[in-house]
Structure 1
């Protein structure tokens, strides 16, 4: 069970108070000042909560504290950016109300231990996001894509409500830590989860898949670029990541649900691979970032399915900060390209170098991990995590002209990850380690990502070959997966003309 730091509950109330204040007529000329006050006030509250947690000897909700710090930081930056971005635009008050409502809902999700509140706030965050996505109501593309997203979110909400009802009935409580503790203890004593709990976890996973824009219901995330840039930053850096956070909350139960784990690994792994291939064909920076989010969410869900919860938490935090920065600085890409054009371009690595980098990265990861475990044997990484790290670090070994420099850079990145892993392990104290079933799934995932690396190496080495031409045509079309879901959604619920 995790007691909640009291000041943390004030974070959603801070955003909610600013929202209510903006509803009064006297706030018409002060709406941005009130929003900024909520942003700075929320950040200050989280700092106070963190200090109290450090001074208090009791166990605290460490995961909730870190996620609240992330939400308050993103909220502060996005509110400040939005004021300058929308200067002179009509409908700013409507934008502020929807943005504050979204922030209040997300802050409630990460700070509450009540399953009723978590489900309600997660649903409300999606409803508050809808007017942000349709901020430019005269753009038909924005309305159509928001309609697709609305349908996918309502399907996810139905799964989420059903999952919550089953879990509350099985545990006899709506307190989230108590639910996890009781059901996990009962599963350990009885040799497995009861079928209603297993069904609830499958429904929870389906809700996360729908809300995280996984294939084949990913199209709305890719096509939602008609929204203002700060909305894209909020969506990609905050709301889409909530699914990973909820899975971390239910980690002790998820580790005993093989059907839910398999679903996460298969859907997440295939989404990560296919979205990575599609991303290689895109030119627009915002569209590339959207496909990157789709792939990263798939990777994060796959990590949760494999029981690599520390890796998933590090991934969640890093992805949120990276995507917020990437979207908010997207307007500087042209200047960056012009500056890079002044330098002599580096020669692309050949196929042989790319293939050699993979075993080199693997040996380097094993060597540094062996040194790490000699000092901290209790924090050894699972074999699946080591394999995925090797595949991810392999390109860094050849990104520079000097092999030695590339290997050193990859070594620094690996050491940085190990330190982050140590911090994540402290935040997720008591999280179960991967079991035999997850290790079997990990072997499939490792082969999948090694195959993706080899395919990308071949395409990079033979960009005009027959395989590259055939694959480019299908990848550029997104493998036509979104078309099927689009036709289905408009048959079920046609969009109304504005």
Structure 2
């Protein structure tokens, strides 16, 4: 552990410099530059552009301070500052009621998360006597088992991260912020919402000894990922589908942290940020592509037998790649479990490839092998950047929960795709389209406790125009 701390030695007071910091700074700087350039053209001629640019730069600055900080209190304050600056961007169009409602819900959820974070820091400071990351890591390494107060601190950290990562049932605001400018959506989905995963990676030496917190991460993440992935298949709007995808991806990132696969979580964070930035900034062309595909004649549903066969082939491919790479399922069970989930995720590609002839099937099959190989390769590469301690505690229950949850997701998706007019589809589809009504319950409770300030009603007693949510 001393060697580990030596590599993280602070070159400047208050700065934590390691491989993770460099990766995150590069990521934030690159995405921030792209969004800044896009914003200048997107808001050209808008009188509010100077105000928008000020708050955008304030958000990016706060995120960079968060990434560089070696002190947990500074990190938490920077996260709050990023959230408050982002709030100004979400309410950029003050006459759009839907934007104000979504921003209000996010504001309340974020403030509860802030309280959880501050409570966790108070407990950590009382136990460790310091909020410096180096002191906390050294204390965690020297402590065989965590006291009850530190278990409470880790649970509060998990709750705070879950709230800010749009996990169910506090996810509704993420689906309804589309009334903000498109680059703001890209900044939120590609940057700010990923901070929770970064914090879990920073605190890996502490979290690997907190079994309750890890189990909570796996439970929350698996539930959100499964539900969000199912709901996403019912979306018509491209941007809303991307928002549900972000919920699912954040859930999967928490699962990776809960299983101790912090190098995979870091890889996931980088890949998700780049993908979502591109997806939102190119959402206009995505709509055109979707319309073009809609003109193509739809194929007949594929039978369940082909789904099971494709799943078997995908899992065999992942197993073969993992074996060749030398990864040991006994020493590192978490990456293998997550690789199995990836194999199930690749199954739809094989199913579609099987219906396009042998050449198409071979192309898709080779692509699946390539994705599996890249996953294990990048896992090894990012493992060199992140000197996280080995996983401790009993992992079998968490692995069983992940395999059961994502196995259920695969079975439901296969049945729904193979039998779109069946009884299960007719029963689930309306409820999934409504998001299981989770956000409606949360919104009613939120508005009852703290209603938002909305624009005044328009003349002649008519309500002010409301831009309806894009879920229709």
Q: TM-score, normalized by length of structure 1?
A: 0.85
Equivalent position of 1:309 in the other structure: 262
| Cα deviation digits, residues 153-174 of structure 1 (max 9, x gap) | 0000000011111112211112
2:226 is aligned with 1:273: yes
Q: What corresponds to 1:413 in structure 2?
A: 371
Distance 1:293 1:194, change over 3 A: same
Distance 2:154 2:349 in 1: 38
Q: How far is 1:259 from its partner?
A: 1.2
Distance change >3 Å, CA 68–CA 101, structure 1 → 2: same
Residue 344 of structure 2 corresponds to residue 391 of structure 1: yes
Cα offset, 1:343, TM superposition = 6.5
In the alignment, which of 38, 43, 58 is matched to residue 81 of structure 1?
38
Corresponding residue for residue 229 of structure 1: 182
User: What is the rounded CA distance, in whole Å, between the counterparts of 1:347 and 1:410 in structure 2?
Assistant: 23
Whether 2:413 is the aligned partner of 1:456: answer: yes
CA contact (8 A) 1:236 1:293 kept: yes
**d(CA) in 2 for partners of 1:66, 1:333:** 29
Query: More deviation in 67-76 or 309-318?
Result: 309-318
SS at match of 1:483: helix
Task: Give the alignment of 1:163-178 within 5 angstroms.
Answer: 163-178=120-135
Task: Please show how residues 11-410 of structure 1 align to structure 2 within 5 Å.
Answer: 60-186=17-143, 188=144, 192-337=145-290, 339-340=292-293, 349-373=302-326, 382-400=335-353, 401=356, 402=358, 403-410=361-368
Deviations 1:128-155 (A, max 9, x none): 0111000000011111111111000000
What is the CA–CA distance in structure 2 between the aligned matches of 1:389 and 1:209, rounded to whole Å?
A: 23
- Specify the alignment match of 2:381 in structure 1: 423
Shift of 1:340: 4.2
Q: Deviations over 1:72-126 (max 9, x none)?
A: 0011000000000001112111111111110001011111111121011001110
- Distance in 2, matches of 1:272 and 1:341, equals 27
Q: Any idea what SS the aligned residue of 1:89 has?
A: coil
CA deviation profile, 1:370-426 (whole Å, cap 9, x unmatched)? 111089999887432232222222223233223333221110111111111111101
Q: Is the 8 A contact 1:268 1:300 kept in 2?
A: yes
Residues 244-293 of structure 1: CA deviation (Å, up to 9, x unaligned)? 00000111111111111111111110010111111111100000000000
How many positions carry a matched residue from both structures? 444
The 3-state SS of whatever aligns with 2:452 is coil
Q: Which runs of 5+ in 2 are unaligned?
A: 456-472
Specify which of 6, 9, 30 is matched with residue 3 of structure 1. 9
Secondary structure of 2:307 counterpart = helix
Q: Is the 8 A contact 2:87 2:107 kept in 1?
A: yes
Q: Give the aligned CA root-mean-square deviation in angstroms.
A: 2.3
> Does the CA-based 8 Å contact 1:168-1:179 persist in structure 2?
no
Where does structure 1 lack aligned partners over 5 or more consecutive residues? 10-58
Q: CA deviation at 1:311?
A: 1.7
Is it true that 1:486 corresponds to 2:439 in the alignment? no
Cα 1:383–1:434, aligned 2, differ >3 Å: closer, same or farther?
farther
8 A contact 1:355–1:454 mirrored in 2:
no
Report which structure shows greater RCO (CA 8 Å, sep ≥6). Answer: 2
> Quick one: distance in 2 between partners of 1:407 and 1:241?
31
Q: In the superposition, relative to structure 1, how do residues 359 and 315 fare at CA in structure 2: closer, same or farther (>3 Å)?
A: same
Look up the match of 2:461: none
User: Partner of 2:391 in structure 1?
Assistant: 434
- C-alpha offsets along residues 454-476 of structure 1, whole Å, 9 cap, x if unaligned? 11011101101111011001001
